Amino acid sequence: MRLGEWLKTNDAGAAYRLATMLCVNRSTVSRWVTGERMPSALSIEAIAKYTNLSVGASDWPAAEKPTDQDLARRRRKAKDRKLEFAKRAARIQSMRRRGMTTRTIAAEFGISQTMVMKILGAPQQEA
């Protein structure tokens, strides 16, 4: 039996209780059921214990299993995001060294002053 079938055989609150137990949003459970997303290995184990379902590969739709190409694309995207963040952080630090206020920097990047302070590694209160 798959997770979607298990949820259909239980009352309407089963998905909510499962989401609450796993500390995820109800929509996340819905995405698992539709195959839009796949739960983490820890979530799969917890689902198996909670629902008494097996965790074999046949219990999850093939669409949920990422291919090697998908994994490589995800790694590239993560690497690109890290590089972009590092560039922005360097630019923010440069702007701060030139005497710009956190308010001005935040407006320039479209982020909160709190985020600017976190990137700068400074205390949250500005003098």
Same domain, 73 and 108: yes
- 11-68 pLDDT, tens digit each: 778 888 888 888 888 888 888 888 777 787 778 878 888 888 776 555 555 545 666 7
Gap between the Cα atoms of 22 and 42, Å rounded? 9
What angle (nearest 5°) sits at the alpha carbon of residue 41, between those of residues 75 and 61?
85
Confidence of residue 123 (pLDDT cuts 50, 70, 90): low
| E strand segments, the chain | none
Q: Scanning the structure block, which residue is given the tokens 């109800």?
A: 26
Please give the residue range of the domain that contains residue 97: 68-120
We report the CATH number of the domain holding residue 47 as 1.10.260
| DSSP category for residue 124 | S
Reduce the DSSP state of residue 23 to 3 states and report it.
Answer: coil
- Same domain? 77 vs 36: no
How many structural domains does the chain have? 2
Q: Are residues 33 and 76 in the same domain?
A: no
Residue with tokens 């184990």: 45
75 assigned to some structural domain: yes
Residue 24 in any domain: the answer is yes
DSSP for residue 10: S
